[in-house]
């Protein structure tokens, strides 16, 4: 018979299930602390290796994917001197360690292979195309989104709540007047700007913004609201509210607004609202936050929306279980609705949005809390739509474009993702619903809030204080 530890022996006498005495019942600990306590002595304080191999060299004996890492930690490789931690570290905590190791490994790998960081007039060499980053408009403050009118005017939202117009290449000094008050505290602000597909005929411009209640009982609470209006000269006119949530559902705090919108071929309008920092709200269909919504262009609810028969559900909901979706665009060829969302540490996701489905937050995620404690060890569930991919370390995605131009032929129909924390522009090549190639196009030019197709076939990016575009290097 195997020898028993004293607590286990006692537990078996008292007929207490052994599980009750294991780590699973303890409050989950910070991954960095667990690492320092249980792993650093062999793998090195910074995972650089010691008596045990480095965990950040990019080379794995048993495979560097999540499942292999979890198995190594849970079961150990006792014959080779790696103890198993399944009895002392809970499944949630193992998940935290996997995120932490991946973060460290990812950072080490980006130090080994730095991405281009092109300054003005230098050529950056990418995998498929070389390019220059040219400044198009400067003098902006935290531009959030960009839209190109067919008559040549360019509209740019700024986070602080202002809409700017560029006319014949020159930024109008005054922002557009007549816009509603925008609460730009925290992550709040003026978000996406999108033109009606029939803009040339009807002139409708759509905006999403964080809308703060000025009256009791919920004074100060904020939610993402959607409006449309027209531009006359430099004035916002004809405003209509397209979506405004019931006031009792507005939330306090300045996090996770979503705020992206996209039209499909049939003029249905899709838009995202983040969970506003209230994780469980994302699963609650009676609340607007943590959802992708779908409406007619004038705000009417389509008769075939998925939750019309669900008692109490917000009728515009199209999909749920989202944390903070800040990228939402239709694929020009497949017609799929691509979305990315800003997850917790290690949980940024890329998804294809489908009618009525649950995308899992916070029941299943690849991420952990910012303080290093786990959220859950559940990364997948049969009733939950898995992401196409996720980013670990997190990049904090904000802005998505699927390249439609012809100036960079090899980029055609590929995904471009801009990011805040990682300050990079990524290219993703997708085949049969899988990401088969990923490249950091550039890095280190500051936080990026959006990437967009220009009418000239070039790719535009929004930097902290300007709009720039990527132009082929040969020209
Ligand atoms: C007593 C020393 C020791 C401690 C403590 C230790 N390890 Fe290990 N670990 C090893 C050795 C030795 C190996 C190599 C085993 C092999 O090659 O079969 C290893 C292998 C691994 C691997 C597999 C690496 C690969 O190339 O596939 C992972 C992952 C890992 N350890 C993580 C951890 C974590 C996380 C902790 C703390 C919870 C930890 N280790 C604690 C000694 C240790």
- The verdict on 141 and 72 lying in the same domain is no
Give the pLDDT band of residue 25 (cuts 50, 70, 90): low
The predicted-structure confidence for 99-141, as pLDDT tens digits, reads as follows 999 999 988 888 887 778 887 778 899 999 999 999 999 999 9
Residue 16 has pLDDT above 50, yes or no: no
CATH number for the domain that contains residue 70:
1.10.760.10
Residue 72 in contact with ligand 1 by CB distance below 6 A: yes
- The verdict on 87 and 219 lying in the same domain is no
Look at the alpha carbons of 424, 429, 434, 438 in this order and tell me if their dihedral is positive or negative: negative
Compute, in angstroms, the gap from residue 421 CA to the centroid of ligand 1: 30
- Pick the last residue of a domain from 47, 79, 112: 112
pLDDT of residue 117: 80
Total number of domains constituting the chain = 2
- The verdict on 326 and 410 lying in the same domain is yes
Q: Is 294 helix (H, G, I), strand (E, B) or coil?
A: strand
pLDDT of residue 265: 95
The Cα 110–Cα 117 span in angstroms is 13
The predicted-structure confidence for 31-68, as pLDDT tens digits, reads as follows 999 999 999 999 999 999 999 999 999 899 998 888 99
- The verdict on 214 and 297 lying in the same domain is yes
Compute, in angstroms, the gap from residue 221 CA to the centroid of ligand 1: 48
- The verdict on 79 and 152 lying in the same domain is no
- The verdict on 227 and 320 lying in the same domain is yes
Compute, in angstroms, the gap from residue 76 CA to the centroid of ligand 1: 7
Residue 19 has pLDDT above 60, yes or no: no
Mean pLDDT, residues 247-268 taken together: 97
Contact 417/446 with Cβ under 8 angstroms? no
Residue 2 has pLDDT above 70, yes or no: no
- Residues of the chain above pLDDT 90, percent: 84
The Cα 359–Cα 336 span in angstroms is 16
Tell me whether residue 34 is exposed, middle or buried, using C-beta atoms within 10 angstroms of its C-beta: 0 to 12, 13 to 18, 19 or more. Answer: buried
The whole-model pTM stands at 0.87
The predicted-structure confidence for 326-358, as pLDDT tens digits, reads as follows 999 999 999 999 999 999 999 999 999 999 999
Where are the alpha helices (H) located in 113-243, listed in sequence order?
Answer: 199-202
- The verdict on 103 and 148 lying in the same domain is no
CATH number for the domain that contains residue 438:
2.120.10.30
- The verdict on 98 and 132 lying in the same domain is no
CA-nearest residue for atom 22, ligand 1, is 72
Length of the chain: 475
CA-nearest residue for atom 6, ligand 1, is 39
Give the pLDDT band of residue 26 (cuts 50, 70, 90): low
The catalytic position among 256, 293, 322, 340 is 256
The Cα 214–Cα 160 span in angstroms is 18
Atom of ligand 1 nearest to the CA of 81: 12
Contact 171/141 with Cβ under 8 angstroms? no
- The verdict on 53 and 186 lying in the same domain is no
Mean pLDDT, residues 410-435 taken together: 95
* 293: annotated active-site residue: no
Residue 119 placed within a domain:
no
| Structural domain for 61, as ranges | 6-112
Residue 60 in contact with ligand 1 by CB distance below 6 A: yes
Contact 440/452 with Cβ under 8 angstroms? no
- The verdict on 309 and 386 lying in the same domain is yes
Residue 204 has pLDDT above 70, yes or no: yes
């Amino acid at each position: 018979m195997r020898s028993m530890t004293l607590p286990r022996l006692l537990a078996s006498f008292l007929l207490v299930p052994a599980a009750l005495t294991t780590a699973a019942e303890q409050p989950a600990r910070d991954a960095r602390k667990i690492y320092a306590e249980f792993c650093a002595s062999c793998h090195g304080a910074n995972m650089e290796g010691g008596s045990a191999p480095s965990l950040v060299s990019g080379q794995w004996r048993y495979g560097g994917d999540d499942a292999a890492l979890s198995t190594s930690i849970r079961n150990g490789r006792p014959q080779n001197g790696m103890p198993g931690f399944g009895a002392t570290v809970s499944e949630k905590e193992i998940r935290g360690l996997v995120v932490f190791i991946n973060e460290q490994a990812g950072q080490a790998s980006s130090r080994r292979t730095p991405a281009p960081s092109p300054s003005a007039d230098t050529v950056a060499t990418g995998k498929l195309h070389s390019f220059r980053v040219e400044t198009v408009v400067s003098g902006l403050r935290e531009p959030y989104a960009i839209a190109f009118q067919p008559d040549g005017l360019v509209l740019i939202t700024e986070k602080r709540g202002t809409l700017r117009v560029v006319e014949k290449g020159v930024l109008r000094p005054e922002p557009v007047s007549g816009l509603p008050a925008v609460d730009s505290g925290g992550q709040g602000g003026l978000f996406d700007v999108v033109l009606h597909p029939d803009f040339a005929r009807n002139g409708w411009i759509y905006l999403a913004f964080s809308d703060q209640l000025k009256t009791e009982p919920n004074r100060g609470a904020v939610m993402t609201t959607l409006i449309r209006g027209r531009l006359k000269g430099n004035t916002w006119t004809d405003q209509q509210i397209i979506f405004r949530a019931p006031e009792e559902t507005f939330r306090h705090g300045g996090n996770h607004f979503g705020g992206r919108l996209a039209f499909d071929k049939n003029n249905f309008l899709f838009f995202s609202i983040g969970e506003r920092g209230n994780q469980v709200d994302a699963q609650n269909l009676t609340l607007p936050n943590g959802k992708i919504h779908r409406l007619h262009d004038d705000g009417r609810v389509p008769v075939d929306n998925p939750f019309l028969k669900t008692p109490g559900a917000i009728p515009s909901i199209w999909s749920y279980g989202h944390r903070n979706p800040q990228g939402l665009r239709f694929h020009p060829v497949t017609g799929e609705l691509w979305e990315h969302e800003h997850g917790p540490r290690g949980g940024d996701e890329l998804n294809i949005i489908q009618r009525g489905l649950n995308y899992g937050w916070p029941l299943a995620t690849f991420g952990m809390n910012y303080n290093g404690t786990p959220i859950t060890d559940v990364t997948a569930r049969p009733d939950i739509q898995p992401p196409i991919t996720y980013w670990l370390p997190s990049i904090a995605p904000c802005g998505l474009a699927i390249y439609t131009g012809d100036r960079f032929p090899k980029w055609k129909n590929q995904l471009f993702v801009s990011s805040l924390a990682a300050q990079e522009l990524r290219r993703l090549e997708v085949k049969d619903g899988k990401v088969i190639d990923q490249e950091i196009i550039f890095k280190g030019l500051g936080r990026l809030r959006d990437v967009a197709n220009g009418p000239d076939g070039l790719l535009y990016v929004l930097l902290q204080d300007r709009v720039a575009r990527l132009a082929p290097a040969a020209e």
